[in-house]
Amino acid sequence: MIRIGFSAWLRDLEKLKDLLSEAANIGLNHVELSIDYPFGFEKPELVVEVCRAVIDMGFTLSIHAPWREIYLASPIPEIRHASINVVKKFIELAGKANVNYVVLHIASDQPYCKTSVPNPCILAAIESLNILIECAENYGTYILVENTSNTPCCGTFNQISYILSQTRAFLCLDIAHAITSDPHYLEMLDRLDYADVVSEWCGSLGAEKIIALHIHGIQKDNGIKVHLDLESIKIDVKKIVKKLHQNLKYVVFEIYRKRDGSKIRLSDLEPYVKSFSSWAVAYGI
């Protein structure tokens, strides 16, 4: 059965119980808990406590591992190994809390990824992933790599595709990130359907690797803004589910604010939740 969820982070902890009640009322049944400094670093036991509380309320759970100052694709061994050790701690916490999966960003600030694939950053990313995948499997969970944007390394399709082909990691396809990392997509944003991006990634990468989606809106106005509401965004949910139905397990709405800067309410997502749920039933997932 497909799990449909939302992203929660430090600012949500005080009202988490109310958020979960609101989420359940509109059909959400999954939470992706975002770990970032200081949350989880200063009080790691709090992560386990929050995870168990979420699961006790009937939700499945994933963890988005820390990504700021984490360089799993650094060609500098000392930096890469320090990043691996940080992520390992949260994989261990995920295992203790019965978390379904851990999402990672694979990145470096080095400029190698402007060149061909593979390159030193790509090879470093593969080495890091293989270590972390083995760690995750020991704790009964698994690793998803998220495609990123606005990074010089390891976020574009050809880079992600090669990395996944060399590891047992799966992909969390962030559709908005896929668009913002591709100038062609950005040029046609006003008429682009998210389903077309999913289809292109499936056609080249293989649908079997894509088991989760991150969904949020984009605004191209005085720069690129993401993690917005889905106003004016075209999403053919039927086409997405039809394309991925054999492998898709999770859909996470990673939306933090509206285009006017105000906070998003989970109830605003209800039409999309119902659409994904209905088409998932239709396609037997």
Query: Cα–Cα distance between 47 and 102 in angstroms, integer?
Result: 13
Q: What angle do CA 197, 146, 247 make, to 5 degrees?
A: 65
CA distance 234 to 64: 26
Given a contact cutoff of 8 angstroms between Cβ atoms, the answer to whether 101 and 141 are in contact is: yes
CB 69 within 8 A of CB 107: no
Domain assignments of the chain as residue spans, ordered by start: 3-282
Residue 88 makes CB contacts below 8 A (sequence gap 6+) with 132, 135
* C-alpha closest to that of 160 among 137, 182, 142: 182
Report the pLDDT value the prediction gives residue 221, as an integer from 0 to 100: 80
Predicted pLDDT at 152 = 63
Q: Per-residue pLDDT for the chain (285 aa), expressed as one digit of tens each?
A: 899 999 998 888 889 999 999 999 999 999 999 999 999 999 999 999 999 999 999 999 999 999 999 999 999 999 999 999 999 999 999 999 999 999 999 999 887 766 678 999 999 999 999 999 999 999 999 999 999 887 667 878 888 999 999 999 999 999 999 999 888 899 999 999 999 999 999 987 888 999 999 999 999 887 889 999 999 899 999 999 999 999 999 999 999 999 888 988 999 999 999 999 999 999 998
Does the domain at 3-282 match CATH 3.20.20.150? Answer given as yes
Please tell me the predicted confidence (pLDDT) of residue 212: 98
